């Protein structure tokens, strides 16, 4: 992962958080859960589903990694309408954004092609969303990935993925780039079939501009400063940044709204 690409922490809606990165400290406004404690509270509110996830050691390990990278957001629902939650997130994104729904046991690996936790022998890192192969295949300049729910049961998360894809392809046919609508019961290409496949398993939404649109409007693929890159990232994703306004300031009621619920 390149320098200046990740920063610690995420902000709940309307909250300014200092992001400790490899390059500098900056504030930004985001959505979802900002700390492991907030994630625990949400999982506990799910009852048996969340309790089962919390029993797995890897749950905390994976979420800690996510909280340290602004491109890997954590946005869990505060209710059990998981598909409605995914729909709410996509609806709040900029209409320019394309997206893809998927399942993984390691969101960092799925986005970057490298893992801080797992050692996948023979893994296919070129399938990662940050890599040219995935971008060319989907014709999307991927900007980030949002973890929208988690489950310790692979079959349960695959069923949610299947339902979310069918629902979202009907609502957003021009924006959803998932090709298959049938339930995928195979492990991700970047995941093994041994002990590392136990879980937890994460449902995510990866998103970005169409590749031709990225080139057309002249957006940079890399930024000279983390502050500029984070600003661009959230502006592209949620369309709430305006020229001439201070970076990372809440600009609308939607931006300052509570976690989707």
pLDDT in tens, 197-217: 678 999 999 999 999 765 444
Instruction: Establish if 153 belongs to a structural domain.
Output: yes
Instruction: Establish if 8 belongs to a structural domain.
Output: no
Alpha-carbon span 75 to 134, nearest angstrom: 23
Cα first-last separation, the chain = 33
Cis peptide before 200 (omega within 30 of 0): yes
Q: What is the pLDDT of residues 148-200, one digit of tens each?
A: 999 999 999 999 999 999 999 999 999 999 987 655 555 444 444 444 467 89
Instruction: Establish if 10 belongs to a structural domain.
Output: no
Domain extent at residue 68: 17-256
Instruction: Establish if 9 belongs to a structural domain.
Output: no
Domain count, the chain: 1
Instruction: Establish if 7 belongs to a structural domain.
Output: no
């Amino acid at each position: 992962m390149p320098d200046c690409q990740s920063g610690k922490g995420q902000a709940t809606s309307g909250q300014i958080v200092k992001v400790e990165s490899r390059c500098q400290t900056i504030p930004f406004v985001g959505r979802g859960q900002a700390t492991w404690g907030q994630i625990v509270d949400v999982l506990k509110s799910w009852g048996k589903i969340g309790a089962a996830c919390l029993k797995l050691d890897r749950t905390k390990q994976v979420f800690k990694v996510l909280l340290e990278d602004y491109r890997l957001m954590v946005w869990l629902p505060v209710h059990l309408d998981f598909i409605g939650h995914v729909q709410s997130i996509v609806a709040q994104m900029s209409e320019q954004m394309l997206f893809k729904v998927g399942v993984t046991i390691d969101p960092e690996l799925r986005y970057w092609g490298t893992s801080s936790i797992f050692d996948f022998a023979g893994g296919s890192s070129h399938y990662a969303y940050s890599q040219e192969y995935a971008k060319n295949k989907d014709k999307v300049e991927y900007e980030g990935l949002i973890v929208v729910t988690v489950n310790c049961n692979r079959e349960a998360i695959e069923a949610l993925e299947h339902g979310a894809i069918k629902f979202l392809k009907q609502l957003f046919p021009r924006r959803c780039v998932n090709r298959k609508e049938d339930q995928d019961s195979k492990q991700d290409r970047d995941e093994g079939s041994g002990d590392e496949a136990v879980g937890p398993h994460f449902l995510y939404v990866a998103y970005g501009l169409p590749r031709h649109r990225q080139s057309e409007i002249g957006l940079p693929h890399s930024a000279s400063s983390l502050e500029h890159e984070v600003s661009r990232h959230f502006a592209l994703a949620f369309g709430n940044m305006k020229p001439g306004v201070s970076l990372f300031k809440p600009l609308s009621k939607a931006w300052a709204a509570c976690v989707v619920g």
